Structure 1
Amino acid sequence: MTVKTDQRPEAEAAPANTRRSSRFWNINRRDQLAGYLFVLPLLIGVILFVITPVFLAIYYSFHEWNVFAGDLTFIGTDNYARLANDPQLPGVLSATGVFSLGVVVLNLALGLGLAVVLNRKFRGATLFRTIFFSPVVVSVVAWTLVWGFLLQDNGVINSLLNMIGLDGPNWLRESNTAMVGVVITQVVRSVGINMVLFLAALQGVPQELYESARIDGARSSKIFMRITLPLISPTILLTAILTIVGALQSFAMIAVLTQGGPGTSTSVLVYYLYLQAFSFNDIGYGSTIALVLLTFVLILTVMQWQLRRKWVFYED
């Protein structure tokens, strides 16, 4: 007599487990994992080189660190009190404001003007785009060294001025002109990137709107103010944020051209931070200045982002 055994429950159990596993590890979860893996290197970089230094700066700002002796002493808010009473701070903040304002205004205005001109079809437009953009890819130090020679008392710029009967100053050694020279050097180098961004935005404006406005008899100035500017306002916001942050972080150009001088006329906040932290080896006080700079950048960025609803196209 043969005994029959029913194996169906075990046979059905394996497919059930397989189905549960396949339901968990579905295509959506695989896509999420792939996304996390792609983001992971950037996330690690942000944690190591952005978040960690910020927390270390906060920590060091409450300490006095003697680098040579290796002593780290907690001093509370003494560094912040010292910063509030620093006699050089008003001059540094004034130089930072003048430099940032000059760079931002000239950079945005020239970048937009060049983009409007180069957006038209004429012979040699591509060559001019390349010429204006080429300084962006040049090393900052190399660019600054060249302009340091150009702005000397007997440099090329003063020689050109002498040809038209003008006596040029010693640009980088006089308090009244040192900031002008630094701003011009920075703007000429960085205006190309804003020009390219504005040019891309202008080429994205529908031509039908221009044709309709011309048929209605609108003048070129009104077309620019009522059609062009509103439609490229998202790009204006982007370039404004990037230019302001870049201006507040400009260091190499100041260090090479003027070393913050004459006096403190070109000593911007980031260069003053460098002097305190690395020239005078006062890491705690330098960290305090770094946090002030970070606060300025965050405040300006948040203000621009909040104001975007009032003038940026596509925003509610």
Structure 2
Amino acid sequence: MIYTVTLNPSIDYVVNMNQLTEGAVNRVNTEHFYAGGKGINVSQILNQHEIDNIALGFISGFTGDFIQSSLHEKGIKTDFIQLKEGYSRINMKVKTLSDETEINGSGPKISNEEIEKLYQKLDGLTSEDTLVLAGSIPASLPDDFYEQIMKYVAPKQVKVIVDATKNLLLNVLKYQPFLIKPNHHEIAEMFNVTISSTEDLLHYGNQLKEMGAQNVLISMGGDGAILISETGEIYRSNVPKGTVKNSVGAGDSMVAGFIAGYQKDASYEEALRLGAASGSATAFSSDVATRGYIDELVSQINVTKL
């Protein structure tokens, strides 16, 4: 079974308007509500690929009820921990003709008792399971929470996939995650360098492998993606034709597509192909991608071995 963890889920309230004027009443043209969070996005794309999975994490209040019910409506299994206090956050995304502004909530406080409930759920994992840790860690949890989780499940030999930034990612490498997915900007930040070529990316991607990551998947926006596999093989994918409508969730969709491709064929080449198609399909959509659109783009993905 695949388990995704979203520590701080949200309702993404997305509005479109011609112009945002500060200090005035603004009226929207369109508005949409989505269940948000990186792990939740992974679950939604896995569901599109008909890959069984369970979404874990913390929810609370009426906003948490919306998150859970909207996932159930899509046929996604959840095993969230219901917090006693607070409300799951609302993230507002304002899109105008010329700009995009985000206002993100902070989310509820999570108690030690509720943290323990998450560990109890992790007790049932085995070496046959995959655990996806994605996104930021809320302020009420310790900064090394991902490290703590990986240390906890390490004796079970669970495959762990981590999609996080900076130190959150660097500090878990000693536990040898099965897959990490930094983008090219994040690699530059992690190593405090300027990335100016594919050779630079490969150099620092290999450093991440030497630090413990088994597989390194690097997304490069409009330049495609690179996979440095655990066997040392290097693959690169292109990007299909399309217009970017929504960058939110594209990276999560790439992770989910990679998992789906690897589950089906145990082929890193095919995993990258399906990952690239899934990420692009979400980037070209107003919400996370549908299976039909992903399948449409797969034929445009060329994977070459470097």
Q: Give the shorter-chain TM-score range.
A: under 0.3
Normalised by the size of structure 2, how large is the TM-score? 0.22
Please identify which structure carries the higher helix content: 1
Bigger radius of gyration among the two: 1
Please identify which structure carries the higher strand content: 2
Higher-RCO chain (CA-CA 8 Å, sequence separation at least 6): 1
